[in-house]
Structure 1
Amino acid sequence: MLWRALNEDTPGPKWAGLFQEYWPHYRRWWLGEGDAMRAPYLESRRALQEHMPEIVPLYDQLCELAGGGDQAARFLSFYCPPPYLSGCSQAIWTGKEPVLVRNYDYNPNAFDSLVLNTNWQGRRVIGTSDGLWGLVDGMNAAGLALSLTFGGRRVVGEGFGVPLILRYVLQTCSTTAEAQEALGRIPTHMSYNVTVLDRKRNYLTAMMAPDRAAVMTHAAVATNHQEAVEWVSHARFTATVERERFLLHRLTLHRDPQEKFIEAFLKPPLYSTAFSAGFGTLYTAVYRPRKLEMEIRWPGTVWPMSMTDFQESSRNLHIPIANDRSQPHPA
């Protein structure tokens, strides 16, 4: 897997080139259930205008760079996308210099493997890309950081893919309180947990769902269920309860120093080798809101990045699918 870290302050030729590179793959996924299953363009744009009006000019600009086609514009709206699942563990180490740490467990063949540093609409944002402008985790220049996990429910409804919701929050919010308001009102098409941390150490986890109001909690840990396990087979397959307990133990009963806590994400039971099942740990991300720094980690490797001194670069990562002999999250 080739990872790239790219900088483009305003949408332009770099982003347009990325779209042309990724679009054939995304188009196959987007139309996998048939064109009629995806929301029409006018409905999608109206939904954006209603719920996230501040980023509609940015959306229009990206649609133009993508060629102005109907299907591309509908895809970029992230409105009512196909359902998709991921693993993931995330937690906040709440010491003097707080950090947000997350593992992203997903199919390596359906992942951007891209870190974007942008200054779109005058707001500096750095994060891990999904759908080329959505984010699965990220941070902005105000020191607001957040990441997502799948919420462990099969219900699908009318709403946005959560990576675009994360992009919206980072483009428009500066504090955890502002993020809470946005996460509480924007509809999501599936259930997700979004953990938020700001530079003043305020944090929350929003348990979002398409069929009920978002639940705001003061939880510093999120895995792949919400208040209770609802999808039992998925919970067993991903060991979501075991991972949650493991993280809570390391944050409370036997509190780890910061670096030891981060390193725990690179080992079982948090680190998964189930790549051939689509739930291997593709990376560990570490966000430091007060320093405006992030890291992408793999076992034995740290890839540091600074929002204020960002250097474009790349990494080649070997995904050991042939060595996959375990269940996703061995406990």
Structure 2
Amino acid sequence: MTKVHTDITQFRGSHYEFGYAQGTAIKDSLILKNRRDSWRIRKPRFETIEQDAKHAFMRFAPGIWEELLGMRDALGMPMTEVLRDFGHYRVNTTPSGCSILTGNDFMVRNYDYHPKTYDGRYSFFQPTDQGHAIIGPTSRVTGRMDGMNEHGLAMGYNFMQRRKPGDGFVCHMIGRIILETCATVDDAVQLLKEIPHRGSFSYIVLDRHEETYVIEASPRGVEARKSRACTNHFELLKHENRHHLDDSKRRLNLIQEQEGQISAHGAFRLMNDKDRGVFADLYKSWAGTIHTTAYFPKERKAWFALGGNQEPVIFDFASWLRGEDVAIKSVHGTLDTELGLSNAD
């Protein structure tokens, strides 16, 4: 067993100031050291051209470009390295798991991936220059694994396949841009039809109007459908699917058996209890459950737990938006693996 923790970060200010603060926070951290070490082990099989990346950010999320500039200045790194490590544009992703279930007023998600990629940072950010305030766990500092914004739009994404990547953003940044720029599920559908995609993922969005969409996206096309459950295969873009889908379909069947008749707490237990069949310990295969989250668009509250068989920590995002800081500094849990997280090993 490995003890794990996630630090809670809270920031109100401009994107540039946020980027500078994040760069200062990770400058001497294990997160940055492990990120740099990973590139010594495996050379990046992509090239990020700064002007191309800037053009894409300025079209879809100019505030996040300012955030990257702040990180550059705080870290004293060339912009090419900042984009490689934190830009999430044209970088490659690895296979993962993940499961999502929504109700009228909740979204519950298991984030399944490899521990060494995990930041261990849960962010509250309220920009003063542009974009919506966001709550959620970070991915590679600037991206988001899942989350909710001030309008009550909740988002999570699930990996589908990584064949034939395109020139575009990866899921971590696309999820962040959805939360920063969209207020409703319809906004999210429109954005995902316009933004360039690096890989193939489904983005699941729920808003305060009780609408849920699963938006299937690849570099070659985007299709949206109404559904309350999603694992790791497409239903519309079936030609994009991997060949081996048994586990994805097994988890989906388990979730759909409860769909429409389960409470938020029941959905959380379905996802987080180790004996229910959805939680996964496949950490070495890049598909182990690291956290379980829940979002409540109408109340604007969020639940968060690290590892399995946990009771969630509850965050009142609505209160935070009114200026009440969260008192808790970190969340702790255990994973059934000897692998370490990037913030602790």
* TM-score under structure 2 length normalisation: 0.84
- 2:286 maps to a residue whose letter is G
CA contact (8 A) 1:138 1:147 kept: yes
The answer to whether 1:80 aligns with 2:83 is no
- 1:103 Cα deviation from its structure 2 partner: 0.2
Q: Tell me, in whole angstroms, the C-alpha distance in 1 between the residues paired with 2:40 and 2:83.
A: 11
- 1:196 maps to a residue whose letter is V
- CA RMSD of superposed structures (Å): 2.3
Q: Tell me, in whole angstroms, the C-alpha distance in 2 between the residues paired with 1:306 and 1:81.
A: 34
Q: Tell me, in whole angstroms, the C-alpha distance in 1 between the residues paired with 2:25 and 2:218.
A: 31
Higher relative contact order at CA 8 Å, sep ≥6: structure 1 or structure 2? Answer: 2
Q: Give SS of 1:182's match.
A: helix
Q: Give SS of 1:167's match.
A: helix
- 1:285 Cα deviation from its structure 2 partner: 0.3
Q: Which residue does 1:288 correspond to in 2?
A: 296
Q: Tell me, in whole angstroms, the C-alpha distance in 2 between the residues paired with 1:149 and 1:281.
A: 13
User: What does 1:1-331 align with in structure 2 at a 5 Å threshold?
Assistant: 1-10=4-13, 11=18, 14-20=21-27, 21=29, 22-29=31-38, 33-34=42-43, 37-53=46-62, 55-75=64-84, 76-94=86-104, 98-120=105-127, 121=129, 123-210=132-219, 212-227=220-235, 228=238, 230-233=241-244, 235-236=245-246, 239-252=247-260, 255-267=261-273, 268-297=276-305, 298-307=308-317, 308-309=319-320, 310-321=326-337
**Cα distance, 1:162–1:30 mapped onto 2, change above 3 Å:** farther
CA contact (8 A) 1:152 1:226 kept: no
CA contact (8 A) 1:125 1:140 kept: yes
Instruction: Note the residue ranges of structure 2 that are not aligned, 5 or more in a row.
Output: 321-325, 340-345
Q: Tell me, in whole angstroms, the C-alpha distance in 1 between the residues paired with 2:155 and 2:263.
A: 21
CA contact (8 A) 1:100 1:197 kept: yes
**Cα distance, 1:50–1:12 mapped onto 2, change above 3 Å:** closer
Q: Give SS of 1:305's match.
A: strand
Q: Tell me, in whole angstroms, the C-alpha distance in 2 between the residues paired with 1:265 and 1:46.
A: 39
Q: Tell me, in whole angstroms, the C-alpha distance in 2 between the residues paired with 1:285 and 1:118.
A: 18
CA contact (8 A) 1:136 1:163 kept: yes
- 1:241 maps to a residue whose letter is K
- 1:141 Cα deviation from its structure 2 partner: 0.8
Aligned length: 314
- 1:23 Cα deviation from its structure 2 partner: 2.1
CA contact (8 A) 1:153 1:230 kept: no
Q: Tell me, in whole angstroms, the C-alpha distance in 1 between the residues paired with 2:303 and 2:82.
A: 32
Instruction: Note the residue ranges of structure 1 that are not aligned, 5 or more in a row.
Output: 324-331
- 1:153 Cα deviation from its structure 2 partner: 4.7
Deviates more, 1:19-28 or 1:241-250: 19-28
